[in-house]
Structure formats: C-alpha cells, structure tokens
C-alpha cells in the first residue's frame, strides 16, 4: 500500500499548527485561560451584553462548548449573566472588572505570542496567510453537517 504525503493534507497541517499554538499559548499567554475563553472575553469587550448563542456564533463554538466556556468564565468571576429584560429566557453577558483586567493582560500576551508564531513569515506572507486561512475557515462553516461517507473506498 502506498503512503500518503501528509504535507499535502490540510487537516494534518492544521493539527500541527494547533499543537504549536497550544504550546505557545500555555507558555506565553496563560495556563488558566484557554484560547477559546479569551475569544469570549475579547468578544464581550467589543460587544458587551450579547447573549450566549450570539457569542458562540462570533467565536465559532457550538452550543455545548460555548455553554461550558461561559460557565467556567462565570465561576472564575470574569463574567456575569443578566436576564434580558425583553426576553426572560435569555441571559446577556457582561465582563466583570476582573474580566476586563484579565482581557487587557491577555491581549498584550497574545500579541507577543502571535509575533513568535508568525515569525517565519514576512509581512506580505502574513497578509496572504491570513487571507487564505480566513477564506478556508469561512467555507468550512458550511461543512458543519457534511454528507456521510458511503462505501468502503476500495
């Protein structure tokens, strides 16, 4: 059986990038606050008072994952839930003062981490890299419910 050249497999390369990102995040940014948790904090700095579903959409997390992230940030005292006065079934999310301070501290660290992560690329290559991965990520949003694989593939 012939081997597969994994250097041409986007999933393999994405996993390797994610591993590098995870390592840099834990060493340069935080071992306590995860990258998805930071994304939530960042979203709520930009748009305070969003509901949980909308925050999940903004950061690309599914319902169960965003619920867990919100719960963890709430237990840490970084955000508060307030009942929506116009729809009592919804909770609106706001960062606490501790959440705002945590975001400020982490934002500086993420900027440094990104410099290290992207160091192999020139400024022009970074622009191209972001344009390409943003395009692939946007297209991937439509793949959340892909067609099932059929047959044995042989």
153 in any annotated domain: no
Which pLDDT band holds residue 88 (cuts at 50, 70, 90)?
confident
152 in any annotated domain: no
Q: What is the mean pLDDT of the chain?
A: 92
Burial 27-36 (b: 16+ CB within 10 A, else e): eebbeebbbb
> Taking Cα atoms as reference points, which of 67, 97, 93 lies closest to residue 80?
93
Domain count, the chain: 1
pTM, 2 dp: 0.86
Range in 10-14, 39-43, 81-85, 141-145 with the lowest mean pLDDT: 141-145
Residue 149 above 70 pLDDT? no
Q: Which residue has the higher pLDDT, 7 or 147?
A: 7
Element (DSSP H or E) covering residue 15: helix 10-24
Which pLDDT band holds residue 140 (cuts at 50, 70, 90)?
confident
Which pLDDT band holds residue 86 (cuts at 50, 70, 90)?
confident
CATH number of the domain that residue 133 is part of: 1.10.10.10
pLDDT digits (tens, 9 = 90+) for 4-63: 999 989 999 999 999 999 999 999 999 999 999 999 999 999 999 999 999 999 999 999
The first and second tokens of residue 21, run together, are 């990102």
22 in any annotated domain: no
Give me the percent of the chain exceeding a pLDDT of 70: 93
116 in any annotated domain: yes
């Amino acid at each position: 059986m012939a081997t597969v050249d994994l250097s041409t497999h986007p999933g393999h390369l994405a996993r390797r990038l994610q591993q590098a990102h995870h390592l840099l995040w834990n060493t340069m940014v935080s071992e306590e606050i995860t990258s998805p948790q930071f994304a939530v904090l960042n979203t709520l700095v930009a748009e305070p008072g969003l509901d949980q579903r909308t925050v999940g959409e903004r950061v690309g997390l599914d319902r169960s994952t965003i619920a867990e992230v919100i719960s963890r940030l709430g237990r840490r005292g970084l955000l508060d839930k307030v009942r929506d006065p116009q729809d009592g079934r919804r909770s609106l999310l706001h960062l606490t003062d501790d959440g705002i301070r945590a975001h400020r501290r982490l934002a500086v660290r993420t900027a440094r981490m990104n410099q290290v992560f992207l160091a192999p690329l020139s400024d022009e290559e970074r622009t191209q890299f972001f344009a390409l991965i943003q395009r692939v990520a946007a297209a991937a949003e439509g793949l959340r419910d892909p067609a099932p694989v059929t047959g044995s593939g042989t």
